[in-house]
Structure 1
C-alpha cells in the first residue's frame, strides 16, 4: 500500500518540480476549463487527496460537492471521477472510441504482468481479437447455453458441500466458482479438495485484489521508480510485484498446457480453449492471444461471482421476507420433486429480480479505470488525451435518485408498480461500459442465477443464534479491486425432507 518514506518524498518533490517546470515552459492555454474538484497542493497536486480505503465513498462525496464530473491532478496525471450514470453513458458508451483505452499502470500492469490480460489491454487490434474470442464462444446467453449443464451439475455439488459443512460456505462458493470456470475455460475437472489449479487461482486473485488498486503504490505516479532495484530502501513493491507476476504467469501457463496435452491425447473436453485451438496451426502471436484470452476468462470468472454469491447468502440472512417470496415462487413453478434449472428461468420473474438485486446491492467492482485516446470537451469541460477516467459504479448503484432506499435489499424495485416504471437494471452498469464492458457478463449472470435458484429451492438461510442471542451480520465490504463482504455467520438448513433428498441425489457427470 502507499507508504510515503523520506526517500519517496524526495522522489516526489523532484518529480513535482520537474512536472511544474515542464508545464511552465510547454503548456498551452486549455480550450475549456477542467471540472471542479479538491484543491491540490503546489507542485504535487492532489496526491494526498487520492483515497486508498473504500475509495468509492470519497468519490461519492466529491460527486455531492462538485457534481457529476470531478477532477484531480496528481503529478500531472489528470483524473476524472464520474458519479452520474447519464454522464458516464454519454462519455464511455456514446464516445467509446475516445474513452475505451486503459491507462498504463506501472505496478499491476507492467510490474505484476497484468498488461497481457484483457482488462489491461490498450485500445487496439489485440483487444479486438480478445473480445472477438469471447464474443464468439460466450458472448450471449444462447452461445453460453452449451455450458448450462456444467453450471447446473457443479451447483448441485455445491449444495451437497454446503449441506455437509455449512460453516465453510465461503470456501464452497470459491471452490464451485473455480470448478465452473476451469471446466469452461480449459475442460479441466477439479478435484474434490485441494485442487492445485483452484489454489493457484485463489493465490493470484488474492494478490490482485490486494495490490492492484491504481495509486496504492507511488510507482503508479512516478514510473521511474520501476527501475529501482529490489534491494533498494523503500523498494519493497518490487518484491511484491515479482511474486505476483510469477503467480500470474503460472496461472496462465499451467492450465493452458493441460488443455493442449488433453488435445494431443485426443481426450479434451469441450472448452473455451479447445474451441479456439481445435483444427488450427497458430503463430506465436495467435498462441499468445489464446493463452491470455483463456486466463482472462479464468481470472475474471473465478472471483467476481464468488463475491456476488456470498452476498446473496448475506442478503437472505438479513432479509427473510425476500427469501420466503422467492421460495414460494420456486415451489409453485418447479415443485418439490426436482431442482430448478435454466429451463425454468423465464418462469421465475421474482427469482430473476432477486439475482439482479444481488448485483446492485453488492457492488463487486466499484470502479473500472478508462483512459482517453484523444482530447475531448464534454459538457463544457476539457478532458485531455491520456486522462484517467474513473466511473464510480458503486455510487451509481446506490444513487437514491435512481434507486429508492438503496441500502434495502428489494427485488420488487425491478417491477412496474403503482404507475411507476421498474428501476434501472443494474446489469446496465455493474459490468462496465462501452467497449470495455465485461465480455464474461453472461457467464457471471448465469452463475449467480443458478446458485440463487437452487439454493433457495432446498435451503432455509437465517441468522445464527449463539448462547440464546441472535447474531446479525454486519454489511461491510473490503477495499480491494474486487470487493467482498466481510465474513459472516449464518444458519443453512434443508427446508424439508424432500429438499434434503434432492441435495443428496447423485450428481450427474457431463
Structure 2
C-alpha cells in the first residue's frame, strides 16, 4: 500500500506547487487591472516600506482611480476615484466596514478591543455609539465649545510666554480638550509625565502600523515561525507598543476611579461609561481602550494638521495677510475670536480645509475589508479584498486641484460648510477632503476636530504674525521643509518634523485681551477639570 501512496503523495505535492506558481499572486480575469505581478508574491516586491501612498498615487495616474494589487494570495483594491469611493465605502458601507486581519494591531497590541481596528461587530457598533453620543454637533456647540475656547486661550498665553516651543503648546491644547471631555482631566502644562508618554506612544504606534512596517505575516502566516531577529524584531516592537499603551491607558482609568471614590462622578465620557457599565455590558478593558483611542486620535491628528498650517503660514505670507485682514474686519482687538465668528470668516474656514488637503494627516487611511463580493463598473471587488483609500492621491488630484502642490485656500472658495456636511452629502464631487474617513468608519470626533482647528487657526492669525525664524549664525531665514518625503515623519499618520518660527504679537491690545480671557478661564473653566491626580 505504501508503494502506491508514495507516488500519489508526490503527485499531490507537485499539483499543489504547480497551483501556487500558476495562480497565487496572479490577478484574476474580472479584477480591476494594475501593475504586472510575479508568481506567488504578486506585487509585494514593488511596495515601498515607507510612504506607500506616493507609489499608490503614481500607479493611480497610470491605472486609474480603481486598480488591483496582489499581495501573495490576497487582493488589495486602491481607490482614488470619488464616485467609486462613494459607491463602495459610503453606499455599501454595510459590507465595506470590516478591517483586514492584523496580527500586530488586533492581537498583539490591542487584544481585539481597539475601536480603530475592530471588525464591524455588535461590540464595535456599541463602542462607536457610546463615543458618538458624547461628540455630537449639539454637544460640541453647547458644552465642549467652552472647553475649546478656554484651552485655545491658554495656548495663546503659552505662546506669548514661550514662543520657541510652539509645537508643545499645540500638542498640549489638542490633548487637553479631548482629555477633559473623555476623562474629566485637563493637561495644564506640556510637562505632565503622562503627556510625554502619550506623545511617545503616538510615535511608536504610527511607525509600527504604517503599511509595510512589519513583515507580511497576515499574507504569509508561515513567517510567524521565522525567528523574529531575521525580520526586524517585529514581535518585540509590537509587544513594546502593547505594554506602553496599556500602562498609559490603565493609569488614566485608575486616576478617574480614585477621583470617583473621593469626590464622585462628573460629566465625562469615562464617568458615564463606568456608571452605565452594567447596562451596556462593556468590559473594563473595552472602556479602557475606547477612552484611550479617543484621546490619542483627538490629540495627535489635530496637532499634526495645525503644524502643517503653521508651515503654510510661514511659507505663504500672502495667505496669512489675507486671512488677518478678514479677521480684523470682524473681530476687534479687545476680544479673542470664538466659534460664533465661523460664518463671518469664510477665508479662515478655507484655510482649515486647505490644511487638511495640502498635507493630509492620514495619507493612506486605515484599510477596509469587503465582507461580500461587490461589482463596480463591470469589475469584481472580491469578498475579503482589502481596500485602501488613497487620501494623498485624492487631495493632490491635478484635475480637481489646480497648482495642487501649493497651499491655496481658494481651492475651497464657496465651500465653507463644516466637514461633516460634505462627508454626509450625496454630492461626492463637492467633498472637501478625506482626512476624516468614509462611511461607517467616518471619524466620530469630526464635529469636535473641525471646531478645534477653527478655534486654533483663527486665534493664532488674530494674535500673531507668524514668520520664519532667523538663523543666529548666518542671519538668514530658516525655511521650513514642507516636502512630504523629507519634512514629515514616517508612520500611519503624517506630521511635520519640528521647525523654528518667529511669533510676534500683533498689538498690545491683543496681548491684554489674551491675558484677560486667560484669567477668566483659570477662574471659571479650568478648576472643574483639575481635581484628579495625573498618572505618573
> Would the alpha carbon gap of residues 18 and 81 (structure 1) be closer, same or farther in structure 2, given more than 3 Å must change?
farther
Contact map agreement 1:54 1:478 (CA 8 A) in 2:
no
User: How far has the Cα of 1:363 moved from its partner?
Assistant: 0.4
> Would the alpha carbon gap of residues 339 and 268 (structure 1) be closer, same or farther in structure 2, given more than 3 Å must change?
farther
Deviation readout 1:153-212 (Å, 9 max, x if unpaired): 111111122122222122221122222221111011224242132122112111111111
Match of 1:460 among 465, 471, 477: 465
> Residue 506 of structure 2 aligns with which residue?
495
Alignment of 1:77-88 (within 5 A): 77-88=74-85
> Residue 91 of structure 1 aligns with which residue?
88
Match of 1:264 among 242, 261, 264: 261
> Residue 161 of structure 1 aligns with which residue?
158
Contact map agreement 1:229 1:235 (CA 8 A) in 2:
no
Is residue 436 of structure 2 the alignment partner of residue 431 of structure 1? yes
> Would the alpha carbon gap of residues 492 and 150 (structure 1) be closer, same or farther in structure 2, given more than 3 Å must change?
same
> Would the alpha carbon gap of residues 60 and 25 (structure 1) be closer, same or farther in structure 2, given more than 3 Å must change?
closer
Deviation readout 1:222-244 (Å, 9 max, x if unpaired): 334345666x6546111111111
Q: Distance in 2 between matches of 1:484 and 1:26?
A: 37
> Would the alpha carbon gap of residues 29 and 315 (structure 1) be closer, same or farther in structure 2, given more than 3 Å must change?
closer
Match of 2:210 among 208, 213, 216: 213
Is residue 470 of structure 2 the alignment partner of residue 450 of structure 1? no
Deviation readout 1:61-97 (Å, 9 max, x if unpaired): 1111111112111121111111212221121111111
Q: Distance in 1 between matches of 2:299 and 2:92?
A: 31
> Residue 34 of structure 1 aligns with which residue?
31
Is residue 342 of structure 2 the alignment partner of residue 345 of structure 1? yes
User: How far has the Cα of 1:404 moved from its partner?
Assistant: 2.0
Between stretches 333-342 and 141-150, larger displacement belongs to: 141-150
Alignment of 1:7-406 (within 5 A): 21=19, 33-113=30-110, 115-143=112-140, 145-218=142-215, 219-226=217-224, 233-234=230-231, 236-278=233-275, 281=278, 285-368=282-365, 369-406=367-404
TM-score for the superposition, normalised by structure 2: 0.85
Contact map agreement 1:59 1:83 (CA 8 A) in 2:
no
Deviation readout 1:391-429 (Å, 9 max, x if unpaired): 101111111211222122222232249xxxx99666552
Q: Distance in 1 between matches of 2:104 and 2:220?
A: 10
TM-score for the superposition, normalised by structure 1: 0.89
Q: Distance in 2 between matches of 1:221 and 1:28?
A: 14
Q: Distance in 1 between matches of 2:16 and 2:44?
A: 15
User: How far has the Cα of 1:456 moved from its partner?
Assistant: 0.9
Contact map agreement 2:465 2:505 (CA 8 A) in 1:
yes
Is residue 480 of structure 2 the alignment partner of residue 473 of structure 1? yes
> Would the alpha carbon gap of residues 43 and 23 (structure 1) be closer, same or farther in structure 2, given more than 3 Å must change?
closer
Unpaired stretches in structure 1, ≥5 consecutive residues: 1-16
Q: Distance in 2 between matches of 1:405 and 1:145?
A: 39
User: How far has the Cα of 1:28 moved from its partner?
Assistant: 13
Contact map agreement 2:171 2:299 (CA 8 A) in 1:
yes
- Superposition RMSD in Å: 2.7
Contact map agreement 2:97 2:440 (CA 8 A) in 1:
yes
> Residue 533 of structure 2 aligns with which residue?
none
> Residue 3 of structure 1 aligns with which residue?
none
Alignment length (residue pairs): 488
